[in-house]
Amino acid sequence: MINFELLTFNLTNPTLLFFILGVIAKYVKSDLEVPAASKNFISLYLLFSIGFNGGSELAVTGISNEVIVSLLFGMLLALIIPIYSYFILRVKLNSSDAGAIAASYGSVSAVTFVTAVAFLEMNQVKMGGEMVAVMASMEFPAIVMGVILLNLFPDKKTEIAPVQWKEAMKHSLTNGSVLMIFGSLLIGFVSDSTQSVGIKHFTSDIFKGFLAIFLLDMGMVAASRFKAFKKQGYFLLLFALLVPLFNGVSVAILSQFITDNVGNRLIFAVLAASASYIAVPAAMRLVAPKADPGIYIPMALGVTFPLNITIGLPLYMQIIHG
């Protein structure tokens, strides 16, 4: 049973309310907007802050067997989720679209991760610094698996073009969000702790304010994607709602065999439930040019992202607490 007190607590979170304000602004056709230059800066800042703080914490705890197991578990999820997602999607879609969507849902959303971190802080729950590395390492396995599936099971009478593996891997590993958060993690890990105190106000104190403005913009962007499902029917809408919830709930339960850390377990659940709308589309343009980005981007951003930050987070937390 869902803990409605926790759900209400999440829905009254100021940062989430700004997301809702963004949705409302789009529907009333307001001229409210966040300047493009500011959006880019805030995105970089959020990734930098989480990566650096995660690296600093990892330097304190050290690289243990649990850290290594967590990384392997995250990468395993990124390989498995695309497989069953692909075959579900093939009921209605062609191989290219099914492969692209499967890769998106096996990969992760950095913005959902950022929101989950804020949710943990709001509930005074700590996560391990290694979860930043787990998030960064789940991008490329999902992309690779998506490409493998659409090439193993092509549409009949369809000629498959040679796969540009090199370019796809480069996009998944050097994607701006992945590089920034992973690079910040390494810097935080090797930095001297006494000198790191000097930038604490920048890395921590203003985090939630920037997140609120970022989610305001995300609300406006997500609302603009909702209409894309009118042409697709209910199949994709149900997939974008039910499969992430299944992934999140399942991993919230299974993660108890990986770690006892409540924060880590929630992050695992959120990563499994999220879908990429940045790294995967960039790679799919190269390896699956016939896949329609007008389908998989709105699914991830317009449906799955709002679902996770409103209902998913408190639901997964309730399951973890038992």
The pLDDT, as a whole number, for residue 80 is: 97
- The better pLDDT of the pair 81, 111 is held by 81
> Which of 20-29, 117-126, 158-167, 194-203 comes out lowest in average pLDDT?
158-167
- Mean of the pLDDT values across residues 14-29? 85
Q: Where are the domains of the chain?
A: 4-25+34-321
The pLDDT, as a whole number, for residue 210 is: 85
With a cut of 60, say whether residue 25 has pLDDT above it.
yes
The b/e string for 147-168 (b: 16+ C-beta within 10 A; e otherwise) is bbbbbeeeeeeeeeeeeeeeeb
| Sign of the CA dihedral running 138, 144, 150, 152 | negative
> Which of 111-125, 163-177, 207-221, 303-317 comes out lowest in average pLDDT?
163-177
Per-residue CA distances from 95 to 156, 216, 275 (Å): 9, 35, 19
Return the CA Rg of the chain: 19
**Residue 298 CA, distance from chain mean position:** 14
pLDDT tens per residue across span 43-83 = 788 878 877 877 887 787 778 888 899 999 999 999 999 99
Structure tokens at 28: 């009333």
CATH 1.20.1530.20 fits 4-25+34-321, yes or no: yes
- Mean of the pLDDT values across residues 119-145? 85
Residue 1: pLDDT band with limits 50, 70, 90: very low
**Do 211 and 15 form a contact (C-beta atoms < 8 A)?**
yes
**Do 135 and 111 form a contact (C-beta atoms < 8 A)?**
no
Please tell me the distance from the alpha carbon of residue 244 to that of residue 234, in angstroms, as a whole number.
16
Residue 224: pLDDT band with limits 50, 70, 90: confident
With a cut of 70, say whether residue 229 has pLDDT above it.
no
Q: In sequence order, which ranges of 255-307 are alpha helices (DSSP H)? A: 262-273, 279-287, 293-298, 305-307
With a cut of 60, say whether residue 258 has pLDDT above it.
yes
> Which of 1-10, 119-128, 241-250, 257-266 comes out lowest in average pLDDT?
1-10
Please tell me the distance from the alpha carbon of residue 63 to that of residue 78, in angstroms, as a whole number.
22
How much is the mean pLDDT over the chain? Answer: 82
The pLDDT, as a whole number, for residue 265 is: 97
With a cut of 90, say whether residue 292 has pLDDT above it.
no
Place of tokens 């610094």: 129
Structure tokens at 99: 């492969």
Please tell me the distance from the alpha carbon of residue 36 to that of residue 180, in angstroms, as a whole number.
19
The pLDDT, as a whole number, for residue 268 is: 97
With a cut of 50, say whether residue 212 has pLDDT above it.
yes
Residue 167: pLDDT band with limits 50, 70, 90: low
With a cut of 80, say whether residue 199 has pLDDT above it.
no
The pLDDT, as a whole number, for residue 88 is: 96
- Mean of the pLDDT values across residues 237-250? 96
The pLDDT, as a whole number, for residue 263 is: 95
